[in-house]
Amino acid sequence: MTESAPGGVPGWLAATIRYCSRCGEGLVFGPVDGEERPRLSCPRCRYVAYVNPRLVVTTLPVTQAGEVVLLRRGIEPGYGAWAQPGGFLEIDETATEGAIRETVEETGLLVEPTHVVGIYSRPQAAIVVVAWEARIVGGEAQPTPDSLEVRSFAPAAIPWPQLAFQTTSWALRDWLGGRAGNSSGRFIVGHGLERDYPEESA
């Protein structure tokens, strides 16, 4: 597991949060009046630097044949491994707008999100991932600057050992569980799910 800084902030993220964004003073972690837990705060201007997880919006595009579209990532983290299309939500868009945009950018496909498959937290990566099942309504599947390959997979052919992220594994398992009518949303796969995954951005 990734080493955490004080307050549960991943160490890699804490390295970027050292100075007050208001006055430039070094931040200090500790008790803050009016707060229920220790926080990063500025000893000069009393600004509290809240550190919140980032929202990643993703889709599982499904073809008319019932296959799920995945991409082989062309960027780190997870270069060369398979994942669902997705990325960080922008400040000026809704969650579904962001998921649609990311899917076009990474696969060339225009989709219409239909329902949420799952919401997944990974404190190690400081993210919350939302995954929608999506209907393909346009575009053409093709590699992009973010992807080496775009392919559809039948449920039995999903490349479990080559998945880039733990959240991809979780989302696919829940998608398969929903297709099987499993009310718990869980689908047990016998291999490729317990290994370490890189810190993910999607």
> What tens digit of pLDDT does each residue of 178-196 get?
876 553 443 333 333 334 5
Domain residue ranges in the chain: 1-51, 54-179
- Summarised one tens digit per residue, pLDDT across range 18-43 is 999 999 999 999 999 999 999 999 99
Domain 54-179 sits in CATH at: 3.90.79.10
Judge whether 1-51 and 54-179 match in fold.
no
What is the Cα–Cα distance from 1 to 61, expressed in whole angstroms? 31
Cut 0.85: pTM above it: no
Nearest by Cα to 117 from 48, 168, 43: 168
Per residue in 95-150, pLDDT tens? 999 999 999 999 999 999 999 999 999 988 899 999 999 999 999 999 999 999 99
What is the topology classification, in CATH, of domain 1-51? Ubiquitin Ligase Nedd4; Chain: W; (2.20.70)
Could you give the percent of the chain with pLDDT greater than 70? 87
Question: Is the peptide bond preceding residue 53 cis, with omega within 30 degrees of 0?
Answer: no
